[in-house]
Structure 1
């Protein structure tokens, strides 16, 4: 089974592709609710991909937030 997280290409990141797909499917859901499960799956995949993000970037954000509070 192919997961979205394994798909990348020169045109963009996995997260970018997932968000583009979500935007397209959102339009379909507005026209016909039958596409809602696909939309929900894309939402879950986006959340998972964001959670997997770069740990160094997350660590930097935490340090920056702590410095701002000090």
Structure 2
């Protein structure tokens, strides 16, 4: 995947951070989808609002930070 390729090229500490926030984001997405598929729409909404969106913002920030050297060149 694109993220995996990026992780291999980043300094170790930054790669670990990106991998961690990627896993957190994926877990939040899985929980929201599970709630939605179980037709628990209220729980899906709560997962989306309080877990998925904040974790997406963290993931996006770390991804942009990792891609910055490529973007600037």
TM-score (norm 1): 0.50
* TM-fit CA distance, 1:62: 0.5
Hey, what's the Cα distance between the residues in 1 that align with 2:29 and 2:57? 14
Hey, what's the Cα distance between the residues in 1 that align with 2:31 and 2:59? 19
Counterpart for residue 29 of structure 1? 36
- Cα 1:47–1:25 change in 2 (3 A) is closer
Q: Unpaired segments of 5 or more residues in structure 1?
A: 1-11, 65-70
Count of paired positions: 52
Q: Unpaired segments of 5 or more residues in structure 2?
A: 1-18
TM-score (norm 2): 0.49
Structure 1 or 2: more helix by fraction: 2
**What does 1:1-70 align with in structure 2 at a 5 Å threshold?**
13-30=20-37, 31-35=39-43, 36-53=45-62, 55=65, 57-64=66-73
- Structure 1 residue runs of 4+, over 3 Å off? none
